[in-house]
Homo-oligomer: A and B are copies of this chain.
Amino acid sequence: MSEIFDFDFFDYEEKRDQYVEQVEELLSSKQYAKLRDMLLPLEPADIALLLEEADEEYMPLLYRLLPKELAAEVFVELESDSQEMLINGFSNAELKEVLDELYLDDAVDIIEEMPASVVIRILDRVTPEMRKSMNEILQYPEDSAGSIMNMEFLSLKKDMTVADAFKRIRRIGGDMETINMLYVTDPQRKLLGVLSVRDLLLAEEDDLIEDLMDPNLVWATTMDDKEDVAQALSKYDFLAMPIVDKENRLVGIVTVDDAMDVIEEETTEDFEKMAAMLPSDKPYLRAGVFDTWKARLPWLMILMLSATFTGLILNHYESKLAACLVLNAYIPMLSGTGGNSGTQASVAVIRALSLDEVYFSDVLKVLWKELRVSFLCGLCLACANFAKMLLIDRMLLGNDEVTTSVCLVVCLTILFVVVFAKCVGCSLPILAEKIGLDPAVMASPFITTIVDATSLLIYFNFASSLLGI
């Protein structure tokens, strides 16, 4: 049995390192048979990891140790730059061997990441039918369900018996990625129903498919957003979602493992966007320094330049500030608290939007909720700060400039800033989604910049009226 069986962080890391070491040892002593025996029992995803960890020159050697079928499974799990390197080293016969073993959707995933020269070489090697299907899938927009669907699925006719269905599964089931869900179609390939392989196994030999299938089914179209399809699959606990074309004909399925990959990818993108980065499709350590730099600089630049407004406001009130310099010490706290409050609301709403817990029609409900929450939070923070300013800043540190009026200015500002930040934070993402922008971009950094400027305006207005400066 495989020894990689425990997923605790330390264990897995340790075992991985042991394996890497062992691979290096066996490689340098050229014990290839032993190496092969070591790799064979592992899962394809783990073999891929070991290949990636090995020196680049050894990767083709390691890869060639694997039997044909396993090799193809490992190939799918590799990063695209490793795949490209391997393909460049392949003879035409070797390339054809790998391609013959791949499922259509995996093959498409791979060529989507390859440079044109490699794509042409691949398309030259596949069977004409596969080339046709690949071209079809490649024509769907990048984020559509069509682009990730698998065109190899098992369909049945409604007048088949269970025995007929089993015969069909035995005949063509070996080429399918999954046979757990079976789809029933009419002669025009329109979807009529769905049944699981368990339904078949529990039925009698001469039962009709029509009587076993569930005619109430959920499907998605090729042009639906792949993230929505993945979320629906998760919500309904499906193993596969049938995909129909514009004429309502069944053309493919999206399987649960692909849906999980989509959700993982999109979640990573959300994290990146919310942290003011452009999304990148490479794992953190594999992205080069320049790639990372390119993904991070744009938003940093925009946000830095938009802080000019905050600077202008400070310049404008320079004389007032000079008159009561103690006010200055509280500006970072005010903008920090405002920013954090806004971030909380925006992140909560962005996540709720992406899980379909909140829709645009809920915008007033959301605002009303945030208004009450922010008032409560603001009140607590203002009171705590009032006490802290009097007890610590004035009494303990003996700063006489911290008068009760100054405390009042600061604390009133806190209350107003928190309420303002939370209301802006919760409504901007919803509005963004409504007008077709990505709500994740409306997260913390963007909202912080708005809140920063506004909190200064609120602050100086309270200062003017209460301190008469």
Task: Judge whether A333 and B352 touch: CB under 8 Å.
Answer: no
Cβ B7 vs Cβ A285 within 8 A:
no
Q: State whether A356 and B388 are in contact (beta carbons under 8 Å apart), knowing that A173-B202, A272-B348 are contacts in the complex.
A: no
Q: Is the CB of A444 within 8 A of B380?
A: no
Is B225 within 8 A of A276, CB to CB? Answer: no
**0/1 string, A1-33, CB within 8 A of B gives 1:** 110111111001100010000000000000000
| CB–CB A228/B197 < 8 A | no
A333 contacts B348, CB within 8 Å?
no
Q: In the complex, which of the residues B173, B263, B314 contacts A198, with contact meaning CB atoms closer than 8 Å?
A: B173
Contact B304 A384 (CB under 8 A): yes
**How close is A391's CB to chain B, nearest CB, in angstroms?**
12
B2 & A218 in contact (Cβ 8 Å cutoff): yes
| Range, interface on chain A | 35 or more
CB distance from A123 to the nearest CB of B (A): 26
Min CB–CB distance A387 → chain B (angstroms): 11
The proximity string for A residues 206-220 relative to B, scoring 1 for CB distances below 8 Å and 0 otherwise, is 000000000111111
**CB of A339 closer than 8 Å to a CB of B:** yes
Chain B binder among A94-102, A133-141, A320-328: A320-328
- Contact among B217, B237, B335 for A2, CB-based, below 8 A: B217
Q: List residues 235-269 of chain A with CB under 8 A from any CB of chain B.
A: 235-237, 239, 256-257, 259-261, 263-264, 267-268
User: Which residues of the partner chain B approach A290 to less than 8 Å between Cβ atoms?
Assistant: 376
Q: Complex formed: what's the CA distance from A312 to B332 in Å?
A: 11
The answer to the question of A65 belonging to the interface, with a C-beta cut-off of 8 Å to chain B, is no
Residue-wise interface mask of A (55-73) relative to B, using a CB-CB cutoff of 8 A (1 in contact, 0 not): 0000000000000000000
Bitwise, A294-323 to B at CB < 8 A (1) or not (0) is: 001101110111011011101100100110
* A332 contacts B318, C-beta separation under 8 Å: no
Q: A201-B169, A216-B1 are in contact. Are A448 and B336 (CB under 8 A)?
A: yes
Sorted from nearest, which 8 A-B pairs have the closest CB atoms? A7-B228, A275-B347, A307-B333, A284-B352, A41-B216, A237-B257, A310-B332, A311-B329
22 A/B residue pairs, CB under 8 Å, sorted by A: A7-B231, A8-B224, A169-B201, A169-B202, A197-B197, A263-B264, A271-B350, A271-B351, A283-B357, A284-B352, A284-B358, A289-B372, A289-B376, A305-B388, A311-B333, A312-B329, A315-B329, A332-B335, A336-B452, A339-B448, A340-B445, A343-B444
With A285-B362, A285-B365, A311-B332 already in contact, 10 other A-B pairs whose C-beta atoms are closer than 8 Å:
A7-B225, A8-B225, A13-B360, A17-B361, A45-B235, A256-B260, A268-B351, A284-B358, A296-B377, A321-B328
A positions within 8 Å CB-CB of B: 1-2, 4-9, 12-13, 17, 40-45, 166, 169-170, 173-174, 178-180, 191, 197-198, 201-202, 215-221, 224-225, 228-229, 231-232, 234-237, 239, 256-257, 259-261, 263-264, 267-268, 271-272, 274-277, 283-285, 289-290, 292-293, 296-297, 299-301, 303-305, 307-308, 310-312, 314-315, 318, 321-322, 325-326, 328-333, 335-337, 339-341, 343-344, 346-352, 355-362, 365-366, 369, 372-373, 376-377, 380-381, 384-385, 388, 392-393, 399, 414, 418, 433, 444-445, 448-449, 452, 456
